[in-house]
Amino acid sequence: MTKSAKAYWIANVTVTDPEAYQGYQALAPEAFAKYGARFLARGDAETLEGTQWQRRVIIEFATMQQAQECYNSPEYRAARAQREKACIADIALIEGLS
> Taking the model in full, what pTM does it have?
0.90
Alpha carbons 7 and 27: distance in angstroms, whole number: 22
CA dihedral 54, 79, 26, 85 (to 10 degrees): 50
Domains of the chain: 7-47+54-95 (3.30.70.100)
**Which secondary structure element, helix H or strand E, spans residue 81, and what is its range?**
helix 74-83
Confidence of residue 1 (pLDDT cuts 50, 70, 90): very low
| The one-letter amino acid at 22 | Q
pLDDT tens column, 27-72: 999 999 999 999 999 998 899 999 999 999 999 999 999 999 999 9
* Alpha-carbon span 30 to 46, nearest angstrom: 29
pLDDT, tens digit, 9 for 90 and up, residues 2-30: 468 999 999 999 999 999 999 999 999 99
